Structure 1
Amino acid sequence: MRAVFFKGKDHPLVVQNIKKFRPVKDQVLVRLKYAALNHLDIWVWREKDGLPPEGNILGSDGSGVIEEVGEDVDPLFIGMEVIINPSLEWGANPIVQGNSFKILGYPDNGTFSDYIVISKKYIFERPEHLTMAESAAVPLAALTAYRALFSKARLRSKEKVLITGIGGGAALWLLQFAVAYQGRVYVTSSSEEKLAKAKGLGALGGFNYKDPEWAEKALKESGGGFDIIIDGAGGDQFSKYITLALPGGRIVNYGRTGGNISEIATRQLYWKQISIHGTTMGTRDEFLSMLDFLESRGMKPIIDKTFSLEQAEEAMRYMEEGHQFGKILLKIEK
C-alpha cells in the first residue's frame, strides 16, 4: 500500500510503499477512495518535529469502503461505504475536549494512504446524497463549523453573521450552514473574486480586509454591526471584531492563520457584554447532528481542486498559497 509520510518539520513529503495494515479488536480496515486537506496538515508539516524514524502519515479527512474488520466488529460492516470522524478521544465533557483528545493525522497515522485502520466508533455511513469525493470533503471542516456556529455562537434565525477569510473549508461550511439556517451572512477576504463567489452562495455582502476602512464599511452596510462573528485567523484583525460586534454579540475563533491576537478593546468588551469563545473540532454527538443537518437539507461541500496521492506535497503547497475556494482533495484510488 502507498502512504504519504511526514518525517519532520519542513522535510519533503515522501510517498512510500509499506505493508498493508491489519485491523485488530474493534478496528476496521478502510480502503480509502479520497482524502481532503486541512490547514492542520500545513501546521503539522511546518511546525512539528521529533518524529519516529519512519515518520507519520498525514491526513484527517477521508472516505472509502470497509474491506476487513477486527474480531470485535460485525462482519456485516464489510463493504460499507464510510466517512471518518477525525475527532478522536474527545472525553466525557461536551464543553471541552479531555487530555487524551487528538485529531486524526498526528500523532496517529491519517488518511493520505491507500488504507487506514481505525476504531469502528469513528466511522459513519456515507451520506446517500454525497459522492465519495464529496464525502471526503466533509468531516473536519464541517464539524468545526457546526460546533462554532450552533454550539458556541448559538445562531438564531435572522441574526447577522460575519465570517472571516471566506474560501477555506470551515469558512465555506459556516456560510452554507448560516444561510441554510436563515442567518444574514457577510464575509471577508483579501480576494475580490472570492467575495463575489461567496455572494453567489448567499452572502449579503463582502469586505476586503486589505482595505484599511473595511471595518467602517462593514458597520455601515450591516446596519450597525453583527450578532455573531466567526474567525479562523486571529491576528491583528481580531481587535476590529469587538467594535463590529453588536451589544450581546458572540465572537468565535477556531484558528490562528493570522497569528496571535495583539490587543482587545477591553472597555467595549465588557460594556457591550460581548462573549468570546474558542473552539476546536467537536463531539461525536455534534458530528452526528452535523451529518443530519447536511442530509436533511441535501447540502454539498464546495470542492476547489483534486490532486493524486502522489501529488500530496503539490496539493499542500497549493493550499499554503491560499488561492483555493473550497476543499482540496487527494484522489487515492487509481
Structure 2
Amino acid sequence: MKAFVIESGELKLKDMEEPKAKPGEVVVSLKAAGVNRRDLGLIKRYGDNPSALIIGSDGAGVVESVGEDVIDFTAGDAVIINPALRWYTNSEAPPPEFDILGMPDHGTFAEKIAISAGQLEKKPRYLSWEEAGSLALPGVTGYRSLFTKGQLKKEDTLFIPGAGSGVATFLIQFAKSVGARVIVTSRSEEKRQQAEKIGADRAIPTDSDWVRELADEKIDLVIDSVGGATFNRSLEVLKKGGRIVIFGATTEDNVDFNLRQFFYGQYQLFGSTMGSREELRDMLKHMEATTMRPVIDKAFPMDQAQEAFDHLASGSQFGKVVLSISQ
C-alpha cells in the first residue's frame, strides 16, 4: 500500500506492507486524513531513524476487516479514528499511558491502518470524508480547552489570538453554538472576514493595540496557542479573575510575566492537551445536534502530501488541510 513516511530523516511516499488486524484490532481503509501542526515537527523528532514511520494522527474511512474479539464494528462501517491513544475517561490530565497516533505508532497517512477498535467512533453521516477525516484532533482539542478547562458559559466573551488554525475554527463554532460572544485576531484581513462568516462577533488586527481595541469588552476567557508572542498581550485584556487556557505554543515556549500582577488580578491559568475518548464522544454528539462542520481550507491527493505540509507550514490556511486518500 502507499503511505507517506519519515525514513532516514526524509519525508517520502513509499510502498509499505498492508496491515493485518490482531485480536481487538480493526483494519480501516482510509478515505481522508487531516494534516496537523504536530505532523510538521515529527521529522525533527524522529531524526535519522532508518525504519520507515507512517505519520498522521487524524483519519476516517471504512472498516475492511476485524480481528478476534471485536464486537462493536463490522466490515463496511464508516468510522473516524480517535488519535488520543489510551485516554478513555475525562480526567484532570492524560494518564501515563497516553500517546498520540502517528509516532511512535504508525499513523493515518496511508491507504490502510490497523488500530484498536477502542480508538474508533462511528462517522457522522452528514459529514464528507474530508470533514470526518480532519475533525478528531483539532475538534477535541478545542472542545476540552473551551468547555472542560475553560468552563465557557452562555453570554461569556471568548478571545482567541489567531483565527486561521483548525482548532480556532472549531473554537469559534463551538462557542457560538452555546451563545457566547467571540473575538479573534488575525494579521490577514481575509482571515478576519472568514472568521466573521463562521460566527466571530469581532475580528481585530493582530498588530493593533488590543487594550485600546477591546476597551469596551469584558473578556471572560482567552484560549491561546500562539505562546510567547501573545501571552502577555492576552493577559492585558483579560478581565480580573478571568481564565486563560494554553494548548499550544507556535512561537516561543518560554514566557516571562509579572507574578504580582497575576495574583493581584486573581487570574486562572490552565494547560490543555487534546482530550479523552469521553470528551470526543461528547463533542461528536454536540456536532451532530448542531450539524456543525469542520472548516476545510484545502484537500490534497496523497501523492502531494509534501505540498500539503508546505501549505500548512506557510500559515496561509483558514481551517483544515486534508489529504484525500481514496474515494
TM-score, normalised by the number of residues in structure 2: 0.96
Q: Which residue of 1 aligns with 2:264?
A: 271
- Alpha-carbon contact 1:64-1:83 (below 8 Å) kept: yes
Matched to 1:260, the amino acid is D
| Offset of residue 204 of structure 1 | 1.4
| Residue correspondences, number | 327
For 1:136 and 1:248, how far apart are their aligned partners in 2?
38
Q: Which residue of 2 aligns with 1:2?
A: 2
Q: Which residue of 2 aligns with 1:79?
A: 76
Matched to 1:144, the amino acid is T
- Alpha-carbon contact 2:90-2:279 (below 8 Å) kept: no
For 2:88 and 2:169, how far apart are their aligned partners in 1?
28
Q: Which residue of 1 aligns with 2:25?
A: 27
Matched to 1:114, the amino acid is E
Task: Give the alignment of 1:2-151 within 5 angstroms.
Answer: 2-7=2-7, 11-45=9-43, 47-50=44-47, 52-74=49-71, 77-90=74-87, 94-151=91-148
Q: Which residue of 2 aligns with 1:243?
A: 236
| Offset of residue 240 of structure 1 | 1.4
- Alpha-carbon contact 1:178-1:185 (below 8 Å) kept: yes
Task: Give the alignment of 1:154-303 within 5 angstroms.
Answer: 154-211=151-208, 213=209, 215-220=210-215, 223-303=216-296
Q: Secondary structure at the match of 1:124?
A: strand
| Poorly superposed stretches of 4+, deviation over 6 Å | none
| Offset of residue 256 of structure 1 | 0.8
| Offset of residue 31 of structure 1 | 0.1
| Offset of residue 306 of structure 1 | 0.6
Greater RCO, CA 8 A, separation 6+: 2
For 1:257 and 1:198, how far apart are their aligned partners in 2?
20
**CA separation of 1:227/1:261 partners in 2, compared to 1, >3 Å: closer, same or farther?**
farther
| Offset of residue 50 of structure 1 | 4.3
- Alpha-carbon contact 2:298-2:320 (below 8 Å) kept: yes
Query: In the TM superposition, what whole-angstrom CA distance separates every residue of 1:132-171 from its partner, at most 9, and x where no partner exists?
Result: 2211121000000000000000001011100121111001
TM-score, normalised by the number of residues in structure 1: 0.94
Query: In the TM superposition, what whole-angstrom CA distance separates every residue of 1:183-211 from its partner, at most 9, and x where no partner exists?
Result: 10000112111011111122111122223
Unpaired segments ≥5 residues, structure 1: none
| Offset of residue 267 of structure 1 | 2.4
Query: In the TM superposition, what whole-angstrom CA distance separates every residue of 1:212-237 from its partner, at most 9, and x where no partner exists?
Result: x2x123322xx244100001111132
Identical-residue share of aligned pairs (%): 37
Query: In the TM superposition, what whole-angstrom CA distance separates every residue of 1:96-150 from its partner, at most 9, and x where no partner exists?
Result: 0122211011111100000000000010110022122211121000000000000
Unpaired segments ≥5 residues, structure 2: none
- Alpha-carbon contact 1:24-1:71 (below 8 Å) kept: yes
